[in-house]
Amino acid sequence: MRASLVLTPASEQVRLVATGRVSAVELVEAHLAQIARLNPSLNAFVDIRAESARAEAAAQDFLIAQGAQELFACDLATLFEQLTQANWNRAQLDP
């Protein structure tokens, strides 16, 4: 399942983690493996925060095990801010 996990829609990935069919750590590891496999030829990622991602996933798994009702600690405002900053940085590099 690990290889196909990265091709699964994000909403389904969330459901799999929420129902315990896949751990957040397993999901992160699947994506990191895909990045490691493809990034040398694509050069799509400049900064890969693998250890931080693993730690955040482990924390998420802990919260789920404790019965947390809300999945994923990242709120949409933070995510939007990060994406906006990444797009701005990319725009500065493109002529």
| pLDDT computed for residue 19 by the predictor | 86
| pLDDT computed for residue 85 by the predictor | 61
Instruction: Give the span between the Cα atoms of 89 and 94, in whole angstroms.
Output: 9
| pLDDT computed for residue 66 by the predictor | 86
Whole-model pTM: value is 0.71
Which residues touch 80 (CB under 8 Å, ≥6 apart)?
A: none
The parts of the chain modelled with pLDDT lower than 50 are: 94-95
Q: State pLDDT tens for residues 24-44.
A: 999 999 999 999 999 999 998
| pLDDT computed for residue 38 by the predictor | 94
| pLDDT computed for residue 11 by the predictor | 83
